[in-house]
Amino acid sequence: MKIRLVLAAIALFAQTVAIADSQISGKYPKEQYHWDFGGSKTTLHYTPAKHDDIDPVAKGLVAAPEGWITGPDGKAVGYAPQEITDGGVRVSISELQTNKEKLTPVQYLEQMAQDMGKAFYKDLPAGMATELLSHGEIKQEGDRATISFKMIILGYPAILNITAYPVGDNQMRFIEYFTADDADLIQRYQGIAHKMIEAQYIIDHPNKK
pLDDT at position 18 is 36
Q: Is pLDDT of 12 > 50? A: no
Determine the average pLDDT of the residues in 12-18: 41
Is residue 157 in a domain? yes
pLDDT at position 111 is 86
* String of DSSP letters for 149-175: EEEEETTEEEEEEEEEEEETTTEEEEE
Q: What is the pLDDT of residues 120-157, one digit of tens each?
A: 655 555 555 566 677 888 999 999 999 998 887 777 88
Is residue 137 in a domain? yes
Q: Is pLDDT of 207 > 50? A: yes
Is residue 2 in a domain? no
Name which of 46-55, 86-95, 173-182, 191-200 the model is least confident about.
46-55
| CATH number for position 139 | 3.40.1000
- Residue 148 sits in which domain range? 8-204
Q: What is the pLDDT of residues 80-103, one digit of tens each?
A: 888 764 447 889 999 999 988 889
Is residue 209 in a domain? no
Detail the DSSP E strand segments found in 19-170: 33-36, 45-48, 68-73, 76-81, 89-94, 97-98, 131-135, 139-141, 144-153, 156-167
Is residue 3 in a domain? no
pLDDT at position 58 is 87
What separation in angstroms does the CA of 23 have from each of 11, 29, 52, 72, 201?
Answer: 19, 10, 21, 22, 38
pLDDT at position 100 is 86
- CA dist 204 and 201 (Å) reads 5
| Total tally of structural domains belonging to the chain | 1
Is residue 46 in a domain? yes
- CA dist 171 and 107 (Å) reads 14
Q: What is the pLDDT of residues 26-55, one digit of tens each?
A: 332 333 333 333 333 333 334 444 445 678
Is residue 1 in a domain? no
Confidence of residue 114 (pLDDT cuts 50, 70, 90): confident
Q: Name residue 162's amino acid.
A: I
- CA dist 30 and 15 (Å) reads 9
Q: Name residue 87's amino acid.
A: G
Is residue 35 in a domain? yes
